[in-house]
Structure 1
Amino acid sequence: MIGGRIKSLRIKKGYSINELSEKAEVSKSYLSYIERGIQENPSLQVLSRIARTLDANLEDLLEENKEQITDLSKLDEEWVSLVKEAIGQGITKEDFTYYLEFIKFKKMDGGKA
C-alpha cells in the first residue's frame, strides 16, 4: 500500500504529518487520506513531491514488497523448492522475467487481461 510506504518513510525521516505536508506542498488532510489508504490513487505529481521531500523516488513508493526480502538466506524452503523445480523444468531467467512482468501487468489491470 502506497500510504503505508509513505508513512514509513516519513517516520524514518523524523517528519510529522504536518511537516511533510508543508514541505511537499500537499494538504495535511489529503496526505492523511493517502497514508490511511482512503485515497488509494494519488496523482503522480503529488507522489513525486512527496517522494522528493522524503529523499526517495517514485519506485520506492510504488513498488510493493520492495523491502520484504533483502537477505536471500532467509528465503523459506517452499520458495527455494519452487525455484529449483522451475529450473528443473527448463525455465530460463528470461522466461521468469517475462512471467514476473506479466503478473505485474495483471495486477495493475485488475486481472482483466
Structure 2
Amino acid sequence: MNNANNARVYKMAFAGVYPLYIQKAEKKGRTKEEVDTIICWLTGYDSKTLQAQIDNKTNFEDFFAQAPQLNPNVSKITGVICGYRVEEIEDPLIRKVRYLDKLIDELAKGKAMEKILRK
C-alpha cells in the first residue's frame, strides 16, 4: 500500500464506511448489533460512544486515536484481507482498519461470534 492511499484512509469518515459494514453483514443474514459488538470489542467503545463517533463523522485516524482501548487479543487476528496479510501491515492505523475489515469479513462469511471475538 502506498502512502497516498494510506493518507486517504486516514481522512475517510468512519460514518461513511460504517453503513457498508452493516450492509455487508445483513446481506449474509447477520445483524447491525453483531457489527456493533465487533467494533466495540476491537476498539473499547460502548454503543453510546460509538454512536457519537458516527454522529461526529469522525475520520478513521481520530476514530482509532480516540478509541478507549484496542482489544489485547488483536494479535490473534491474522490472515489476508484486500490482498495483504493483516499481521504484516506496517502502518499501525492501516493495520487497525484492516483488523476491522477482517472481522466484518468473518462475520459475513458466517463465522461464529465466539470465534470472531477470539474467545
Question: What is the TM-score when the length of structure 2 is the normalising length?
Answer: 0.31
* Structure with greater Cα Rg: 1
